[in-house]
Each structure stands twice: as C-alpha cells, then as structure tokens.
Amino acid sequence: MIGRSAYQKLSPSLVDWYMRQGGRAFNQQRTDRPDDGRDNLFAPMDGTGSAPGEFGCKSRSSSPYTRHLELHPNCKRLLNAAALASVLALVRWVGW
C-alpha cells in the first residue's frame, strides 16, 4: 500500500483536499495515549535534543546527499554539469 507521503509527492493539492474532507487531518492526529503535558513551544525539550518520532532508529541525522552535495553547491553544479555532458555525449554517440 502506498503511504500518504508518497501521494503527497505525486499531488500535494489532492492530498490536502482529501485531508480536509470530514476532518481527516484532525482525526488522524488523535491518539489513545495520554498527554504527558510536555512540549517544546517555548523551550527545548529535556534530554539529548532529538525527537525521533515514530521512525526511531531508522532516522538519520544526515545523508550522503546532504553531506556531499547540498552543503556544497559547487559540487552539486559540477555533478549536474557532468551528468548533462554524459547525456549529450550518449545522444550524440547513439545518433538521435
């Protein structure tokens, strides 16, 4: 089954419309767990400062893309230029 986040990538406006119908956005945030009375509205939470949420140990603080490309825009530009040059060379070699 495709999750909401996958649909959000395909059509954000359709997901927004769907979530507004019948209060789905509000109802899906409800839980049976009691509120612990803690929040981080005015001050950071106690502890390590991380909030893993429902993903827990699956989440990462960084990715190779962020570490090597997003934080270094010139590297990203160079990689994009190399990819474009490769595609153009392939098109010329194939003869399209």
DSSP 25-78: HHHTT--SSPP-S---SSSPPSSSS---TTTGGG--S--HHIIIIIT-HHHHHH
85 occurs within a structural domain: yes
pLDDT value for 28: 72
Residue 57 domain-assigned (yes or no): no
Residue 53: which pLDDT band, with cuts at 50, 70 and 90?
low
Length of the chain: 96
Tell me what pLDDT residue 47 has: 64
37 occurs within a structural domain: no
State mean pLDDT over 42-60.
66
Which residue did the predictor score with more confidence, 68 or 56?
A: 68
Q: How many distinct structural domains can be found in the chain?
A: 2
Q: Is residue 71 part of a domain?
A: yes
Which domain covers residue 84, as residue numbers? 63-96
pLDDT of residue 72: 84
Q: Is 58 within the bounds of a domain?
A: no
In a domain, 76, yes or no: yes
Higher per-residue pLDDT: 15 or 2: 15
Classify residue 83: in a domain, yes or no.
yes
Does the residue 95 lie in any domain?
yes
Residue (of 75, 77, 90, 29) closest to 54 by Cα position: 29
**Residue 84: predicted pLDDT:** 96
pLDDT score, position 62: 77
- How large is the average pLDDT for residues 3-28? 77
